[in-house]
């Protein structure tokens, strides 16, 4: 018999009741995430995660390339240009050991969700020497 994962989101209105957590665990549930929120001043700076392919340099607080994510983006762009379907791109990313920022395997949906980032980075990627070499290799392979 095959099994599937059942998920349920539960809003918390007050202090966490550990007996409720234990009851859920005893009935086969396991906690997989905790989401925290708090109110802050409207003028407080908004903390945003750096875009995929970049990371925050702790010492200078400046953005720099994240080499692993950048290579994943290059591969996505390369396979997108070759008109590869999303499932094939996801499989290849996973085969090469790339993961999403959350550490999850790539799926066709997560690849699709990267399209705006690829469009944004397209001119920058196409201008790199690495991309030019890839294009030359592809053209020579077709000869």
Q: CA-CA distance, 51 to 66, in Å (whole number)?
A: 10
Domain coverage including residue 62: 54-141
Is residue 125 in a domain?
A: yes
For the whole model, what pTM was predicted?
Answer: 0.62
| Total domains in the fold of the chain | 1
Residue-wise pLDDT tens for the chain (143 aa)? 777 777 777 777 778 888 888 988 899 988 877 777 888 887 777 777 889 999 988 787 788 989 999 999 999 998 998 888 999 999 999 999 999 999 999 999 999 999 999 999 888 888 888 778 877 776 666 55
Nearest-CA neighbor of 76 among 95, 92, 65?
A: 92
Is residue 31 in a domain?
A: no
Is residue 116 in a domain?
A: yes
Is residue 61 in a domain?
A: yes
Is residue 109 in a domain?
A: yes
């Amino acid at each position: 018999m095959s099994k599937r994962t059942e998920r349920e989101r539960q809003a918390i209105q007050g202090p966490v009741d550990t007996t409720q957590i234990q009851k859920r665990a005893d009935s086969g549930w396991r906690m997989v995430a905790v989401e925290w929120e708090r109110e802050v001043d409207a003028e407080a700076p908004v903390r945003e995660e750096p875009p995929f392919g970049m990371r925050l340099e702790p010492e200078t607080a400046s953005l720099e390339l994240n080499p692993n994510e950048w290579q994943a983006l290059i591969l996505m762009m390369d396979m997108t240009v070759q008109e590869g379907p999303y499932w094939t791109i996801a499989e290849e990313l996973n085969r090469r050991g790339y993961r999403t920022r959350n550490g999850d395997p790539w799926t066709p949906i997560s690849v699709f969700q990267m399209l705006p980032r690829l469009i944004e980075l397209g001119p920058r990627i196409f201008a790199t020497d690495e991309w030019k070499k890839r294009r030359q290799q592809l053209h020579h392979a077709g000869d």
